[in-house]
Amino acid sequence: MPDAKIIVIGDEILSGRTQDTNSYYLTHRLNELGINPNRIITIGDNGIVIEQVTKDAMSQADLIFICGGLGPTPDDHTIISVANVLNKKLVLDDSILKRVEQYFSSQGRVVPELATKQALIPQGAIVLDNPVGHAPGLIIKHGKKVMILLPGVTHELQRIFETGVIPFLSDTYLLKSDITLLIRTTSIPEMEIVNKINGVLKKYKHIQVAFLPSILGVDIKVSRIKDKKTCHSIDKDIKTVLKPCIYGYGQETIEQVVGILLHKKQLTLGVAESCTGGLVADKISNVAGSSEYFIGGAVVYSNKLKKMVTGVKDSTLRKFGAVSKETVLEMASGIRERFSTDIGISVSGIAGPTGATKDKPIGLVYIGIATKKGAKHEQYHFTGNRRMIKEKSAMAALDLLRRTIEVLS
Amino acid sequence: MPDAKIIVIGDEILSGRTQDTNSYYLTHRLNELGINPNRIITIGDNGIVIEQVTKDAMSQADLIFICGGLGPTPDDHTIISVANVLNKKLVLDDSILKRVEQYFSSQGRVVPELATKQALIPQGAIVLDNPVGHAPGLIIKHGKKVMILLPGVTHELQRIFETGVIPFLSDTYLLKSDITLLIRTTSIPEMEIVNKINGVLKKYKHIQVAFLPSILGVDIKVSRIKDKKTCHSIDKDIKTVLKPCIYGYGQETIEQVVGILLHKKQLTLGVAESCTGGLVADKISNVAGSSEYFIGGAVVYSNKLKKMVTGVKDSTLRKFGAVSKETVLEMASGIRERFSTDIGISVSGIAGPTGATKDKPIGLVYIGIATKKGAKHEQYHFTGNRRMIKEKSAMAALDLLRRTIEVLS
């Protein structure tokens, strides 16, 4: 495997304005491919420094990734600096120029003079197509050394890496990867997972287990699995101890899983949200094709709308308040009935920082769900700031939806 | 100001298991204090490499932060490596030993032998108390050079930085920061900003201008401004060429700006969304206190709901389709009327990847807005994947809202 280094370029990173997520993505993906970068160097948009760091990296590493500074503005220096280090001329690439022109004309705009600068690349560089932006990726071979230049915009970098860089790395370094199993869980603490899993995984030698917690749940990553049969067996063993908390695999999101279930069971969904403010509907509608089962949602922020749109009784609001099991039950049943859906789900809670009372602290959230079998509710106490409580509430709503649909005939 | 560098140590970062958030935190805080780190170097838990990188940093920088590898386990090498580079003896620090003993006894546990290793520090180091963990921070002065060692656990690093490091830096470097002006723009391409701004900013010497683009807009960062008067003058000059595209300053989000405007003008808001699926409402409700002006929203994903909830006419949908100026105009007016709000805003578009027709490509989005002065609409052509089109549409809706409220009496 090649000795790899990553150079990240951007004043916005050194100034603490933007968090660099590109090096995290690259290290993660490269390790999965069996390539272990041994250094990340982050520097600013300064041509002299870029040249110096590139020169150093060239003398130490075989494979160098350079991210950022590929744009056409005066503070983008990467291409010129790399060309200087490698002593290569800049030439105009017709294919890039054409793409840039197409990009602007598709938007009905004239190509700015600056933009044509993006078509200047070091002689001999391999151009990697960027279908989601206009700075292409570049691969430059120099003797046995390989330099890969990627734009700093995260989704552009990721797209080019997946479609252009991986095939190149696979060919060049004959990559073969072990199997990695990624199991996604929610509503169970990391410690409990560790305790439950350690026993059942003891019998597997040489595997590597990592726990990746986020505010929405814990992913379990089992890597270095030698074959499919072992992978299947590990999956089965983990399921025996964690089944109800597992919602998906790999990059699957809970809204995708919910979407697959709704599609398979031919069920439609309506959402009534208060404290999540549209986040549940937003997540559900992130799934392509969700219009097939997602009829719509109501963000009933005011009590007036809770009554008007979801039919919550005035007496319920007066007696129990907007944040109560009674209100979410009526919201869920009401939205199901009025939107004529198979399932209605509702959320009401106190996201903070204001709105708490003695009996109802920040983080208290009720979720209701109504199906043909009737309505039920769950109560939660979440911690964190306003956004975190919204995120955790939406996750809990989607997970309650998943568990409910799974057993719905 | 000292020339500063950050060294981040941890195999878990190079393997892509853990995202390094410490360097983001440090760069952000240091820049606020007027110290601009010019390099971040991330390396693994390898004593030889740590020594080499530390030695290099010593020859280049005056102030060096080293994060991680301070623990007591065999893969923690930082303290020994630094002591080697500085040619200092390791000595047992009684105060640290006492703290470690207290930490374990408070948990009813015996001090593991390994843990006492944490009390070994380079002779002469200043110990920074760690009230939330047991690896202390260390400041080591070496001639004019200063080395600051911090634990890799994020909340421990942050606590020590705030309580121990900042007072030290303030004393040592007599911190006083230049002014930085951050202006947030949207709906104008980076290149157009560059062209418009370069002229008006020519007269200011020594300032530094950077453009920070994201999919939602471009932030303009003007730093090294010497005084408030100059800052005010630069702001005024930028406004003369960019005014309508500027929505805020610093960390302000557009939903905060919209919230401030709605509050100031005592206006209420209702939202009707199709392709954004709740994202506009979600953003608006991220603002604490938004329930004061945000009455609620409707996610009218199906045509049935567009008619039922927002009152779009059947004939409009049949004649012009759900993605049309006619539909968003009726949605905006309908939600305003039915929710009895001062303003109604609506979004309908094709987020993809399916749903496009010959006349209506992916990325075609209409936004409508209704006020007491009547309803108007805007048409957009966005690029990107489903999520990006949703994000860009929500941003455009919030920006149209901002521009409309600004001139509303």
pLDDT value, residue A6 = 98
Contact B30 A19 (CB under 8 A): no
- pLDDT tens-digit profile of B159-171? 899 999 999 998 8
User: Closest by alpha carbon to B232, among B245, B222, B220?
Assistant: B222
Q: Tokens 């008619």 identify what position? A: B307
pLDDT value, residue B271 = 98
Cα–Cα distance measured from residue A117 to residue A119, given in angstroms and rounded to the nearest whole number: 5
Cα–Cα distance measured from residue A13 to residue A137, given in angstroms and rounded to the nearest whole number: 20
Q: Please tell me which of the candidates A13, A21, A355 has its beta carbon nearest to residue B27.
A: A13
First to last CA, chain B: 49
Contact A277 B282 (CB under 8 A): yes
Q: A21 to chain B: which residues are within 8 Å by CB? A: 19
User: Closest by alpha carbon to B26, among B148, B108, B136?
Assistant: B148
Q: A73 to chain B: which residues are within 8 Å by CB? A: 190-191, 194, 211
Helix (H, G, I), strand (E, B) or coil at B225: strand
Helix (H, G, I), strand (E, B) or coil at B330: helix
Distance from CA of A69 to the nearest CA of B (A): 12
Q: What six digits make up the tokens of B152?
A: 């890799």
Torsion region of A318: left, alpha or beta (phi above 0 gives left; psi -120 to 50 gives alpha):
alpha
pLDDT value, residue B176 = 64
Tell whether B288 lies on the interface with A, counting CB pairs under 8 A: yes
Torsion region of B289: left, alpha or beta (phi above 0 gives left; psi -120 to 50 gives alpha):
left
Tell whether B399 lies on the interface with A, counting CB pairs under 8 A: no
Q: Which helix (H) or strand (E) holds B386?
A: helix B386-406
B8, B299, B342, best to mutate vs chain A, most A CBs in 10 Å: B299
pLDDT at A41 over 70: yes
**Closest chain B residue to A131, measured at CA:** B384
Tell whether B298 lies on the interface with A, counting CB pairs under 8 A: yes
**What angle separates helix B228-242 from helix B190-200, to the nearest 10 degrees?**
130
A37: cis peptide before it, omega within 30°? no
Say what the pTM is.
Answer: 0.74
Q: Which helix (H) or strand (E) holds B338?
A: helix B325-338
Contact B14 A27 (CB under 8 A): yes
pLDDT at A382 over 90: yes
Half-sphere exposure of A51 toward its Cβ, with a 13 Å CA cutoff? 11
pLDDT value, residue B370 = 98
Q: With a CB-CB cutoff of 8 Å, which residues 144-163 of chain B face chain A?
A: none
Distance from CA of B86 to the nearest CA of A (A): 23
Q: A390 to chain B: which residues are within 8 Å by CB? A: 282, 285-286
pLDDT at A107 over 80: no
Percent of chain A's residues with pLDDT above 90: 75
pLDDT at A251 over 70: yes
Q: Which residues of chain B have pLDDT under 70?
A: 176-177
Tell whether A255 lies on the interface with B, counting CB pairs under 8 A: no
Q: Which helix (H) or strand (E) holds B236?
A: helix B228-242
A110, A302, A346, A362, best to mutate vs chain B, most B CBs in 10 Å: A302
User: Closest by alpha carbon to B65, among B168, B191, B189?
Assistant: B168
**Closest chain A residue to B250, measured at CA:** A17
Q: Please tell me which of the candidates B42, B182, B296 has its beta carbon nearest to residue A39.
A: B42
Instruction: Tally A–B CB contacts below 8 A.
Output: 246
Q: Which helix (H) or strand (E) holds B319?
A: helix B314-320
Contact B352 A288 (CB under 8 A): yes
Contact B277 A284 (CB under 8 A): yes
Amino acid sitting at position A169: L
- pLDDT tens-digit profile of A48-104? 999 999 999 999 999 999 999 998 888 899 999 999 999 999 999 998 888 888 878
Residue B234 and residue B203 in contact, taking contact as beta carbons nearer than 8 Å: no
Helix (H, G, I), strand (E, B) or coil at B145: strand
Q: What is the largest CA-CA distance in chain A?
A: 79
Cα–Cα distance measured from residue B324 to residue B366, given in angstroms and rounded to the nearest whole number: 6
Cα–Cα distance measured from residue B301 to residue A399, given in angstroms and rounded to the nearest whole number: 22
User: Closest by alpha carbon to A22, among B4, B42, B194?
Assistant: B42
Q: Tokens 């280094």 identify what position? A: A5
Q: Please tell me which of the candidates A32, A43, A339 has its beta carbon nearest to residue B39.
A: A43
Q: Please tell me which of the candidates A212, A286, A296 has its beta carbon nearest to residue B302.
A: A296
Cα–Cα distance measured from residue B343 to residue B280, given in angstroms and rounded to the nearest whole number: 14
Tell whether B289 lies on the interface with A, counting CB pairs under 8 A: yes
Tell whether A13 lies on the interface with B, counting CB pairs under 8 A: yes
Q: B309 to chain A: which residues are within 8 Å by CB? A: 296, 298, 309
pLDDT value, residue A176 = 65
Contact B40 A13 (CB under 8 A): yes
Amino acid sitting at position A298: A
Residue A69 and residue A78 in contact, taking contact as beta carbons nearer than 8 Å: yes
Amino acid sitting at position B27: T
Contact A24 B19 (CB under 8 A): yes
Q: Please tell me which of the candidates B49, B210, B279 has its beta carbon nearest to residue A75.
A: B210
- Give the sign of the dihedral formed by CA B214, CA B218, CA B224, CA B226: negative
CB atoms within 10 A of CB B304: 14
Domains of chain A (ranges, CATH numbers): 4-173 (3.40.980.10), 179-249 (3.30.70.2860), 254-406 (3.90.950.20)
Q: A13 to chain B: which residues are within 8 Å by CB? A: 24, 27, 40
Cross-strand partners of A140: A147
Report strand pairing: A294-299 vs B294-299: antiparallel
Q: Using 50, 70 and 90 to split pLDDT, how confident is the model at A169?
A: very high
Q: Using 50, 70 and 90 to split pLDDT, how confident is the model at A190?
A: confident
Tell whether A60 lies on the interface with B, counting CB pairs under 8 A: no
Half-sphere exposure of B60 toward its Cβ, with a 13 Å CA cutoff? 17
User: Closest by alpha carbon to A122, among A94, A82, A74, A72?
Assistant: A82
The Cα angle at residue B52 between residues B49 and B54, in degrees rounded to 5: 105
- Determine the average pLDDT of the residues in A315-331: 98
Contact B302 A280 (CB under 8 A): no
Cα–Cα distance measured from residue B285 to residue A394, given in angstroms and rounded to the nearest whole number: 14
Q: What is the largest CA-CA distance in chain B?
A: 86
What single string gives the DSSP state of each residue in B267-301? --EEEEESTTTTHHHHHHTTSTTGGGTEEEEEE--
Q: B288 to chain A: which residues are within 8 Å by CB? A: 352-354, 386
Contact A282 B284 (CB under 8 A): no
- pLDDT tens-digit profile of A369-381? 999 999 999 999 9
Q: What's the 3-state SS for chain A?
A: CCCEEEEEECHHHHCCCCCCCHHHHHHHHHHHCCCCCCEEEEECCCHHHHHHHHHHHHHHCCEEEEECCCCCCCCCCHHHHHHHHHCCCEEECHHHHHHHHHHHHHCCCCCCHHHHHHHEEECCCEEECCCCCCCCEEEEEECCEEEEEECCCHHHHHHHHHHHHHHHHHHHHCCCCCEEEEEEECCCCHHHHHHHHHHHHCCCCCCEEEEEEECCEEEEEEEEECCHHHHHHHHHHHHHHHHHHEEEECCCCHHHHHHHHHHHCCCCEEEEECCCCCHHHHHHCCCCCHHHCEEEEEECCCHHHHHHHHCCCHHHHHHHCCCCHHHHHHHHHHHHHHCCCCEEEEEEECCCCCCCCCCCCCCEEEEEEEECCEEEEEEEECCCCHHHHHHHHHHHHHHHHHHHHHCCC
Residue B298 and residue B310 in contact, taking contact as beta carbons nearer than 8 Å: yes
pLDDT value, residue B177 = 61
B17, B184, B207, B284, best to mutate vs chain A, most A CBs in 10 Å: B17
Question: ipTM score of the complex?
Answer: 0.72
Residue A348 and residue A324 in contact, taking contact as beta carbons nearer than 8 Å: yes
pLDDT value, residue A177 = 64
A5, A9, A14, A43, best to mutate vs chain B, most B CBs in 10 Å: A14
pLDDT value, residue B128 = 95
First to last CA, chain A: 52
Cα–Cα distance measured from residue A107 to residue B382, given in angstroms and rounded to the nearest whole number: 9
pLDDT value, residue B398 = 98
Tell whether B87 lies on the interface with A, counting CB pairs under 8 A: no
Amino acid sitting at position B253: T
Distance from CA of A252 to the nearest CA of B (A): 15
Contact B281 A280 (CB under 8 A): no
DSSP state of B247: E
pLDDT value, residue A370 = 98
Contact A286 B390 (CB under 8 A): yes
Cα–Cα distance measured from residue B200 to residue B194, given in angstroms and rounded to the nearest whole number: 10
